[in-house]
């Protein structure tokens, strides 16, 4: 726990001002509404260390790539979510002196992220030249009116009379710290500034997105609206108002800054200015307090669907809620052109782009806690990129409709340029296939599969069938030169996870095709035609590959072997590593990591987690014990799978240990990197640890496995799950249970023939029996 953060069930509270931690706090206290994201930068001028970050979803820039040694096939650009216009800025002068927390004496300081109601509040008292002021700011990004952000900033003159100047502004002259060539990404198209309102329209270079950022201002003095005299300021990429207001001791001034970000993704370019003005008027006429009330109500509704309530452990409660809150701030599932970057909207790292994290870690959360359209839009995102994935595979020498989805993408094109990842971490294709399967079995709805998923599956299967080759030496199909989810091995042969998910994809595609042919013969025929699918030829090959795929195996230990040759390594355990050399990625050179037996995240366990029905309890235990002892968990995506599997083997204490590593990863800044942004996708893994792990709520084909465990420290916990299909049976610790075991105040569970049709999601409550 960072010393300055205070445990609380619903709030994140920072008490005291710690300039050296400011970047970290800016990440943690980020706000977002799926459309706009804003780091917890200060409204007023701050000359201390800060990473300015205002992000508008879907607005990116193709930054020219930087590479040491070019390899054929590398992309030219890395699409990055841009730091967009600063809409929060309100500079403040007290009798001509600029308020700046880096320079003033800070008497008290408190930052609160209200997760229950969705707003950020900051209060502080500062002094300079014997003038003390008290400041309170509240800001939020509305999840009701998603183009709008609002700030209420109050200044109270505590011990003096004088003049307070406000200079609210919009600044488009911003850059990304991670720009490869120090370029600025925005051009100004036009700007307008009046008294009390104004906007700038910017256009991104190359990608040609237009964004209009506007503001409208309201001033109050001692609770009465005032209309002070305002000067207008306009510079290149910058507009502002400035006004000086006289105050006496104990006077309170308030400025309301209503701001909008209106983009060419949602509006025609020619309408941007007028939409900006209309939206601002709407915001002002609703007013701050009404908007805040709507915000609270909307968040309360979100929490009804996605909350996990933990009793007996405030830190755990705060941690899990923080994760759920940030996930809901990042992605709302309303726009199928958007996705989830590993850092969400909380920093520049990873460029806000989409990774396999979405399918492998984030999807289960949204599937279980939101209406199915949310998860479906994540699948549609990939469907819409299918053509580009086929082009991407063509660049790498594949053909006939084979698709390789990019490792990192914004618009479907590959962004990444590290050969062992870009070209070789092809297991991402498997996660995309699995996501279709996961969605379909969760919702019981084949509509996506039959209309869109099948196209994706065929393209993926075509890729795998071309990517394998037959090894005459082994008499088996092999997959050479890959990097698995364990990125501490590069360019290996026959990564067990990759081979497994590849063959599984072929199986699932065949099965889906069979089912489509049976149920919708006409649709099947038209798909076959459209995709130029050679039914017999292609599926025969796929079946041969499924039958003869090579799976490395450790005969003595009876575990799946991570890859060919793994047993040639020095057989050490993670516990053999000198603790002074952990994490090894900070102390060891890359080659040493590569040839060590140590695992960043255990991909064999990832495979077992995904295809759990295939493996019995003993098999899971053996593999878990073998790989856990070799895993150093230097990926934020590692611990959650270990937690779920530890739960699976009934080891709640170990499961809880792993859970702890992820639940407060950012709040407690374990990896000393939260200043770069939050680990958004790994937050979904934390949710998995509780619901799928302790709670045991995992769909296993047609079977909902339900074997809840309660961590020692907890007295009870409850959460929502959502399955829309007939669930054959519901088990607790292997025993079929009746509905009465489920605390179902929000359920409309329909029982027929021992099947539970869980229509809208039910609330599961688990209590410790004393």
Task: Give the residue numbers annotated as catalytic, written as ranges.
Answer: 487
In sequence order, the β-bridge partners of residue 123 are 110, 136
Cβ 679 to a second copy shortest distance, Å:
19
Q: Using CB under 8 A, which of the segments 59-67, 238-246, 525-533, 720-728 binds a second copy?
A: 59-67
Question: What is the enclosing helix (H) or strand (E) of 554?
Answer: strand 553-554
The contact pattern for a second copy, residues 205-244, with x = CB under 8 A and - = no contact, is ----------------------------------------
CA angle 62, 66, 71 (to 5 degrees): 105
The contact pattern for a second copy, residues 414-443, with x = CB under 8 A and - = no contact, is ---xxxx--xx-------------------
In this structure, what token pair is assigned to residue 411? 């618009």
In this structure, what token pair is assigned to residue 164? 């307070």
Question: What is the enclosing helix (H) or strand (E) of 606?
Answer: helix 603-610
For a second copy, the closer CB: 234 or 571: 571
In sequence order, the β-bridge partners of residue 752 are 755
Give the residue, chosen from 481, 510, 582, 724, that forms a contact with a second copy under the rule CB under 8 A: 481
- The three-state secondary structure class of 757 is strand
- The three-state secondary structure class of 592 is helix
In sequence order, the β-bridge partners of residue 335 are none
Give the residue, chosen from 9, 18, 50, 73, that forms a contact with a second copy under the rule CB under 8 A: 73
The secondary structure of residue 270, as a DSSP letter, is G
| Residues in region 483-512 near a second copy by CB under 8 A | 490-491, 493-494
Site of tokens 């995709």: 531
Give the residue, chosen from 125, 207, 451, 471, that forms a contact with a second copy under the rule CB under 8 A: 471
In sequence order, the β-bridge partners of residue 477 are 470, 549
For a second copy, the closer CB: 151 or 561: 561
Give the residue, chosen from 72, 268, 270, 285, that forms a contact with a second copy under the rule CB under 8 A: 72
Cβ 478 to a second copy shortest distance, Å:
5
Cβ 191 to a second copy shortest distance, Å:
33
Position 475 contacts a second copy (CB under 8 A): no
Give the residue, chosen from 3, 472, 579, 734, that forms a contact with a second copy under the rule CB under 8 A: 472
Give the residue, chosen from 478, 516, 690, 764, that forms a contact with a second copy under the rule CB under 8 A: 478
Is the preceding omega at residue 117 within 30 degrees of 0, hence cis?
no
Cβ 11 to a second copy shortest distance, Å:
37
Pairwise CA distance, residues 228 & 218, whole Å: 10
The secondary structure of residue 631, as a DSSP letter, is B
Give the residue, chosen from 20, 537, 570, 578, that forms a contact with a second copy under the rule CB under 8 A: 570
For a second copy, the closer CB: 27 or 490: 490
Q: Using CB under 8 A, which of the segments 21-29, 295-303, 413-421, 607-615 binds a second copy?
A: 413-421
For a second copy, the closer CB: 134 or 394: 394
CA atoms within 13 A on the CB side of 37: 35
CA angle 348, 351, 356 (to 5 degrees): 125
Give the residue, chosen from 594, 619, 728, 732, that forms a contact with a second copy under the rule CB under 8 A: 594
Cβ 596 to a second copy shortest distance, Å:
9
For a second copy, the closer CB: 151 or 407: 407
The secondary structure of 271-288, three-state, reads HHHHHHHHHHHHHHHHCH
For a second copy, the closer CB: 247 or 479: 479
Pairwise CA distance, residues 261 & 276, whole Å: 8
Cβ 491 to a second copy shortest distance, Å:
5
CA-nearest of 713, 712, 715, 665 to 687 is: 665
Q: Using CB under 8 A, which of the segments 131-139, 325-333, 567-575, 664-672 binds a second copy?
A: 567-575
For a second copy, the closer CB: 395 or 523: 395
Question: What is the enclosing helix (H) or strand (E) of 764?
Answer: strand 762-767
Helix residue ranges, H only, 204-313? 272-286, 288-306
Is the preceding omega at residue 524 within 30 degrees of 0, hence cis?
no
- The three-state secondary structure class of 125 is strand
**Contacts with a second copy, residue ranges (CB under 8 A):** 65-69, 71-73, 395-397, 417-420, 423-424, 469-474, 478, 480-481, 490-491, 493-494, 564-565, 567-571, 585-595
């Amino acid at each position: 726990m960072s010393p300055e953060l205070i445990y609380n069930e619903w709030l994140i509270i920072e008490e005291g001002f710690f300039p050296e931690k400011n970047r970290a706090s800016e990440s943690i206290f980020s706000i977002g509404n799926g459309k706009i994201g804003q780091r917890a930068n200060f409204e007023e001028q701050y000359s201390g260390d800060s990473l300015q970050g205002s992000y508008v979803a879907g607005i990116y820039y193709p930054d020219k790539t930087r590479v040491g040694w070019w390899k054929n096939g590398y992309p030219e650009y890395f699409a990055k979510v841009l730091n967009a216009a600063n809409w929060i800025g309100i500079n403040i002068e007290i009798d001509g002196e600029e308020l700046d927390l880096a320079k003033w004496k800070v008497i008290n300081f408190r930052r609160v992220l209200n997760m229950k109601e969705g707003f950020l509040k900051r209060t502080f008292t500062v002094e300079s030249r014997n003038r003390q002021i008290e400041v309170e700011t509240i800001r939020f990004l509305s999840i009701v009116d998603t183009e709008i952000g609002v700030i209420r900033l109050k200044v109270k003159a505590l011990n003096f009379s004088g003049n307070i100047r406000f200079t609210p502004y919009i600044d488009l002259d911003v850059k990304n710290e991670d720009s490869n060539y120090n370029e600025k990404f925005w051009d100004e198209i036009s700007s307008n500034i009046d008294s009390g309102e104004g906007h700038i329209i910017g256009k991104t270079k190359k990608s040609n997105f237009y964004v209009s950022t506007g503001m409208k201002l309201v001033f109050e003095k001692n609770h009465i609206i005032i209309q002070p005299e305002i000067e207008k300021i306009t510079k290149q990429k910058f507009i502002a108002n400035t006004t000086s207001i006289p105050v006496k001791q104990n006077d309170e001034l308030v400025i309301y800054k209503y701001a909008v970000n209106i983009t060419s993704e949602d509006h025609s370019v020619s309408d941007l200015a007028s939409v900006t003005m209309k939206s601002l008027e709407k915001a002002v006429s609703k007013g701050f307090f009404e908007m805040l009330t709507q915000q609270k109500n909307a968040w309360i509704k979100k929490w009804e669907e996605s909350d996990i309530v933990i009793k007996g452990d405030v830190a755990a409660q705060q941690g899990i809620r923080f994760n759920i809150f940030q996930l809901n701030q990042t992605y709302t599932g309303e726009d199928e052109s958007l996705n989830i970057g590993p850092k969400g909207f909380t920093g520049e790292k990873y460029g806000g782009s989409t990774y396999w994290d979405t399918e492998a870690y984030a999807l289960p959360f949204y599937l279980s806690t939101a209406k199915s359209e949310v998860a479906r839009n994540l699948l549609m995102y990939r469907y819409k990129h299918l053509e580009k994935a086929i082009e991407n595979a063509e660049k790498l020498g594949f053909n006939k409709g084979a698709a390789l989805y990019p490792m990192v993408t914004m618009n479907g094109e590959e962004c990444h340029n590290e050969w062992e990842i870009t070209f070789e971490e092809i297991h991402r294709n498997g996660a995309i296939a699995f996501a279709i399967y996961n969605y379909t079995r969760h919702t019981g709805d084949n509509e996506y599969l039959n209309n869109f998923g099948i196209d994706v599956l065929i393209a993926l299967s075509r890729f795998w069938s071309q990517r394998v080759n037959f090894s005459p030496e082994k008499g088996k199909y092999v997959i050479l030169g890959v990097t698995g989810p364990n990125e501490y091995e590069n360019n290996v042969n026959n990564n067990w996870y990759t081979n497994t998910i590849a063959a599984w994809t072929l199986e699932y595609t065949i099965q889906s095709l069979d089912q489509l042919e049976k149920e919708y013969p006409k649709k099947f025929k038209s798909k076959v035609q459209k995709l130029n699918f050679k039914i017999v030829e292609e599926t025969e090959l796929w079946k041969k590959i499924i039958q003869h795929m090579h799976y490395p195996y450790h005969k003595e230990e009876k575990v799946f072997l991570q890859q060919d040759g793994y047993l040639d390594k020095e057989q050490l355990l993670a516990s053999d590593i000198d603790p002074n050399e952990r994490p090894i990625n900070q102390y060891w050179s890359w080659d040493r990591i590569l040839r060590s037996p140590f695992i960043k995240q255990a991909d064999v366990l990832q495979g077992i987690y995904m295809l759990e029905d295939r493996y019995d309890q003993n098999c899971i235990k053996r593999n878990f014990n073998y790989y856990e002892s070799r895993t150093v968990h230097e990926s934020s995506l590692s611990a959650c799978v270990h937690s779920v599997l530890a739960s699976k083997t009934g080891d709640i204490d170990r499961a809880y240990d792993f859970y702890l590593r992820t639940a407060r990863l950012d709040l407690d800044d374990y990896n000393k990197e939260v200043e770069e942004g939050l680990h958004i996708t790994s937050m979904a893994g934390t949710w998995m640890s509780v619901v799928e792990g302790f709670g045991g709520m995992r769909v296993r084909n047609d079977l909902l496995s339900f074997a809840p465990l309660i961590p020692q420290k907890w007295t009870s916990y409850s959460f929502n799950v959502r399955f829309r299909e007939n669930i054959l049976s519901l088990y607790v610790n292997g025993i079929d249970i009746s509905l009465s075991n489920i605390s179902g105040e929000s359920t409309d569970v329909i029982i027929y023939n021992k099947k539970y049709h869980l229509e809208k999601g039910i609330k599961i409550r688990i209590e410790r029996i004393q």
